[in-house]
Amino acid sequence: SDLGPPPPPPQQHSPDHSSCSAAPSAAAMATAAATPRHGGLPEEIVIWEILVRLPQKSLLRCRAVCRAWRSATSARDFLAAHHDRQPNLPIVFQVYRGGQSLLALDNRGAAAPQLQPVARLDDHSSLEASCDGLLLLADYGRGVSTFSVCNPATRQFARLPMLSGFVSLGMYRHGPTGEYRILVCPVVPCSDGLFAGMFEMDGILGMACSNDEGKIIGIWMMQDYESEVWTLKYRFELPFEEIKMQCDMRQVRVKRGDMLIVVVPGGDGELLVLSRFDDVLFQINMDGKLVESFHREGLCLTQLQLKQTLALHTFLPALEGYVVNAPPFS
C-alpha cells in the first residue's frame, strides 16, 4: 500500500564537515544575512548553530520571533538538518480507562528517563508501525481493520484507503520511488508473534531472542541479505536477582513470560534493552548490567521508535479525512 512520496529532498550542497548535518541554502543564508543580529551573534550562527538544535516545540515558538526566523526555519534544508539532529526515542504506551497514551522514552540525560507525550488513542486503536517521524495507527473496533497515518510533530492526521482482511507488518520508505509504503499480509496465514523481537538499526535488520528460561539474551544482526547470513553480535544474561531485589520480590521465581523485553536502537549507535516487570521499567546494557530503572504503573513497551520531523508531507492533505490538531492529538 503506497502512502505517497515524502517531502521534496533537500537541495544538494558541497560536502561540509562542520557540526551541521546539512549546509544552509543560498536563500537561507541571504535571509539570515538580511536580518538583524540577536545578542550580538550573526543570524547565520543563530539559525544553523542554535535553532537547528532545539526540540520541536521550542523551535515552533521561536518562529514567532520574526518573519526571517520563520522563513529560514521552514526551508527544506533547515528541516532536513533539524530532523537529522533529533533523537530516535523508544515508544511506550500507558493504558488508561477508555484508551491509551503514546509516549516517547527519553533516557539521554543523567537524571531519570523522561516520558514525552506523543498522542492519545481510544481503546479500539493501536500503534502498528513508525517511519521517519510518521506513525501508522490501526482501528479494529468496527469489525474491519482501518488504518490511518499521522505526524505527531506537525499534528497532521489522515485516514488510508480500506485494507479489509489484512494486518500490517511495518511501514518503510521505498528507496527507488521515495514513497512511504505499508507492508501487509492476509489475516489467515499470519501468525501472532512471527516478527516479535525484530528491529532495524543503521539500515541493518536485527533480531533478539532468548533461551527457554528467558535468562540469556542473544542479539543477532543480518550481515548479508543475499545469503541471509546472521551474526551473533551480543550475548548476555539478564540481571534477574537485581531486578527482583528492586521490586522487593526476592523470594519470587521469575519465569519466562513474566518479563517483557524489547531491544531498540539507542541514540548513541548502541542497542538499548528495555525490560518491564511488576510495573517497573529497567534499562540494561549489552553487558547485562542494570543501568536505570523507574516505576510507572501501566507502562507497556513497544518495538518501535520515533524520530520526529517538522517536514510537511505533501501526500497527507490529499488523503481522506485529513485534519490538523484533532484526535488522536489532545
For residues 139 and 299, the answer to whether their CB atoms sit within 8 Å is no
What's the rounded Cα separation, in Å, for the pair 88 and 264?
9
Using pLDDT thresholds of 50, 70 and 90, give the confidence band for residue 48: very high
Residue 46 is which amino acid?
A: V
What's the rounded Cα separation, in Å, for the pair 77 and 81?
6
Q: Is the pLDDT of residue 302 over 50?
A: yes
For residues 33 and 71, the answer to whether their CB atoms sit within 8 Å is no
More reliable by pLDDT, 184 or 47: 47
The CA-atom distances, in angstroms, between 243 and each of 147, 208, 238, 278 are 38, 20, 9, 10
- pTM (2 d.p.): 0.72
Q: What digits encode the pLDDT tens for the residues 224-241?
A: 777 778 888 888 888 878
**C-alpha 124, offset from chain centre:** 22
All domains of the chain in start order, with CATH: 44-81 (no CATH), 86-307 (2.120.10)
Residue listed under C-alpha cell 537541495: 11
pLDDT of residue 39: 63
More reliable by pLDDT, 193 or 257: 257
Q: Is the pLDDT of residue 1 over 60?
A: no
Using pLDDT thresholds of 50, 70 and 90, give the confidence band for residue 156: very high
Residue listed under C-alpha cell 548513541: 268
- Residue (of 58, 59, 84) closest to 72 by Cα position: 59
Q: Is the pLDDT of residue 16 over 60?
A: no
- Residue (of 116, 59, 119) closest to 83 by Cα position: 59
Longest C-alpha distance within the chain, in Å?
70
